[in-house]
Amino acid sequence: MKKYLFILFLTLYASKAYSQNPYAAGFFAEIFPGMGHVYAGEYSTGFYNMLLIFPLAARYYVTTDTFNEKAVKANMSTTARNIFGFSVYDAYQVALEKNQRPKQILNIPDYSFARMYFAPFDIDNYKSLSVGIPLSIVAAISGLRLYSKGIHSSVTPGRALAAIPLILAQSLFIGMGEEAEFRGFQYPAFSELTRHSIPGNFLQSVSFGVCHTSWGACASPYVTGHLFRYTNTINEEREYMAEPSSSDGQELANWQYFLMSSAFGFYMGVITAYEKTDGLLKAITVHAMYDFMLIATDLLTEGKTGRVYLSFSLNF
C-alpha cells in the first residue's frame, strides 16, 4: 500500500509540470482525498483533505461490539464521505480559477462550503417550480403517511426532539456532498467529454445510480474505496446498518435502486443546468429536504430508519 501511494503521489507531482487541468484536478480528488488540491498547487488544503481518509477507512477496519459503537463508525464515515464530495468539487473549482475560468459547456459557479451546506435555509432557492413541485409532492406523501399510520409508540417527545435535528444535519450534509461531487464536478466533466450537456447529464446520473447500489456503495473515493473494501473482511450484511425502513433502498434489488437513483440524479442535473440562477444550490435544496422529509417520516411512523446516519439509540 505504501509503495502504491508513493508512486501515485510521485506521478501526481510530475504531472504538475505540464498542466493544472480542472478536470484532472477533480479526477485526482476522486481517487484520493487531497490529491486534486495538491495537483492544483494548494498543498496545505490538500494535506487537510487527506486527513479525511482516516474516518473514511475507519468503517472498514474498526471492529465494533455494541450498537452505539457501530453508530459512531457509521456516522463518522458518512459525514467524512460527504465532506469528501465537497473536496472533489472544490479541487475542480480551484483549478478553474488558476486557469482563469475558461469557457465551458456547463459553467458551475464557485460556492463556499457554508453556502452549499445551508442552501436549504435560503428562501430564494424555493422560488422555482423545479424545486417547489417535487418538495410539495414529498411533503404531501409524508403528511399522508403520518395521518394514516400515526406516531409510532416508541417515539417519545424527547426522542423526537433529539433525533429530528440530527436527521436535518445529516440530510444537509448528504444534499451538499452528493450534489457537489456529482452535479458540481462530474456533470460538467462528462459534458466536456461528450461535448454536450445532455449526454453529460446521463453519464453523471448513471455514476450516481451505481454509487447508490451495492456495486459501488462502499467505493467512494473510487480507487481507494475499492482498495479498502477488498482488503478487509467486512461482512455483506453491512453490520453497522439498522433494519431497512419504508423509504430506504436497502430492500430493493440492485437494478431497481439503480434506476430510481439514476432518475433522481438526472432530475438534479436538470435543475443544476437549466435554472437561471444558482441551479446547483437549488439541487442541493431539493436533495437535502427530500431526504429530510422521508427519513423523519420513517422515524415518526415506524420508530426506526434504515439510513446509516441514524443507526444509533437515544436513551429518552
More confident residue, 108 or 252: 108
For the chain, the domains span 2-310
39 touches 16 (CB < 8 A): yes
Q: Which of 38-42, 47-51, 84-88, 241-245 has the lowest mean pLDDT?
A: 241-245
More confident residue, 3 or 65: 65
Tell me the pTM: 0.86
Q: Which of 69-73, 91-95, 267-271 has the lowest mean pLDDT?
A: 69-73
- The pLDDT score that the predictor gives to residue 295 is 86
pLDDT, average across residues 209-228: 62
Per-residue pLDDT band for 231 (boundaries 50, 70, 90) equals: very low
